[in-house]
Amino acid sequence: MDIIQKLKQKAQSSPKNVVFPEGEDETIIKAAAQIAGESIANPIILGDEKTITKMAGQAGLELKGVKLVDITAYPKLGTYLAEYSKIREMPEAVAKRQMKDPLYFGAMMVRLGDADAMVAGIANDTEDVIMACDAIIGLQKGISVPSSFFLMEIPGYQGPEGNILIFADAAVNANPAVGCLADIAITTARSARELLGWEPRVAMLSFSTKGSAVHPDVDKVIEATQIAKERAPDLAIDGELQVDTAIVPEVAKRKLKEKSPVAGKANILIFPDLDAANIAYKLVQRLTGAKSYGPPLQGFKKPVSDLSRGATVEDVVGTAIMVAVRAQAS
């Protein structure tokens, strides 16, 4: 059984309410019908009820268990407007315009507990999804940037958690500053605990291992490692480590003089920038046939996830499974 099937069973054990702001997208409608039909979550899709019902009928779908929400007729719209006015310190007239945007409305549903998680991005830019979530849901205390991760299921790899590794950040932060890189390490460890129940072992990756090279890029990783350790002393974080030192026990023994709680047994790999992370996950995916799940967003107070514009029904369902499981732990 692959990891997403295991997570699916966990999601089904206590289905959460997941809102999909892009409810008039055919892929979202198909995914919502499957999610409801398999009791993975209780999907809420935003949009015009007549349009959605017509599209579902044309696709031969039943929407039993799917809640349809028309933003303009929602009973709690007044409450949403008042809440947005309060948190953004703006007149309700301005809030009314903003709440017409399904991304902001969906984020408000999550903020006020009418939904447990949100999945969006199939018809909106990642930047827009992040802006809505940042403005309404907000970031976790002490975290300065949102980020993302990929859950990688790698054939032929055998680590402490079987063939699973987590890569971050492969989708959001192009060149994170030192403090941001530390935040990414901390939030990814939290995500691993919520989603998989792991005890995180976080490797801060570099082309250097413990001073084997001298370069400003290496200094960045060293500083980020120290900051992450100071901010989250309960986490096993180590760096700077080359990737083979991080995941191959024999290499870790050869390259390191001191003991490390991470080297040779890392289950989370934090890349120094988006170039390295994006290249790495795609190389692993293409050369090994690995399955990559994500990238869910992280760092927010409630579970949310972005989607690729080219996401398939399977992608949307898999993403919903991950945010639903994380919502169980929230």
Domain, as residue range, for 239: 147-292
Q: What tens digit of pLDDT does each residue of 7-58 get?
A: 999 999 999 999 999 999 999 999 999 999 999 999 999 999 999 999 999 9
Both 20 and 129 in a single domain? yes
What are the start-end ranges of the E strands in 145-192? Answer: 147-153, 164-168
Both 308 and 253 in a single domain? no
Select from 179, 213, 190, 209 the least CA-distant residue to 300: 190
* CATH number of the CATH domain containing 229: 3.40.50.10750
Read off the pTM.
Answer: 0.91
Both 189 and 286 in a single domain? yes
Both 202 and 183 in a single domain? yes
Strand order in the sheet with 304-306: 67-69, 42-46, 17-20, 117-120, 304-306
Count of domains in the chain?
A: 2
**What count of other Cβ atoms lies within 10 Å of the Cβ of residue 136?**
28
Q: What is the three-class DSSP state of 155?
A: coil
Write the CB contacts of 180 (distance below 8 Å, at least 6 apart in sequence).
144, 145, 147, 173
Q: Give the whole-angstrom CA distance, residue 51 versus residue 57.
A: 10
Q: What tens digit of pLDDT does each residue of 197-236 get?
A: 999 999 999 999 998 999 999 999 999 999 999 999 999 9
Both 8 and 71 in a single domain? yes
**What count of other Cβ atoms lies within 10 Å of the Cβ of residue 283?**
11
Q: Give the whole-angstrom CA distance, residue 192 versus residue 190.
A: 5
* CATH number of the CATH domain containing 134: 3.40.50.10950
First CA to last CA distance, the chain: 26
Both 283 and 314 in a single domain? no
pLDDT-flagged residues of the chain (< 50)? none
Instruction: With beta carbons less than 8 A apart as the criterion, state whether 260 and 242 touch.
Output: no
Both 287 and 153 in a single domain? yes
Q: Which residue has the tokens 């941001």?
A: 180
Both 61 and 182 in a single domain? no
Q: Give the whole-angstrom CA distance, residue 51 versus residue 196.
A: 38
Q: Give the whole-angstrom CA distance, residue 329 versus residue 22.
A: 25
Both 20 and 127 in a single domain? yes
Both 153 and 284 in a single domain? yes
Both 50 and 186 in a single domain? no
Q: Give the whole-angstrom CA distance, residue 316 versus residue 210.
A: 40
Both 132 and 211 in a single domain? no
Instruction: With beta carbons less than 8 A apart as the criterion, state whether 251 and 119 touch.
Output: no
Looking at residue 94, its pLDDT comes to 81
State the number of CA atoms in the 13 A half-sphere of 7 facing the CB.
Answer: 23
**What are the structure tokens assigned to 115, written together?**
């939904």
Looking at residue 1, its pLDDT comes to 67
Instruction: With beta carbons less than 8 A apart as the criterion, state whether 165 and 246 touch.
Output: no
Longest alpha-carbon distance in the chain = 67
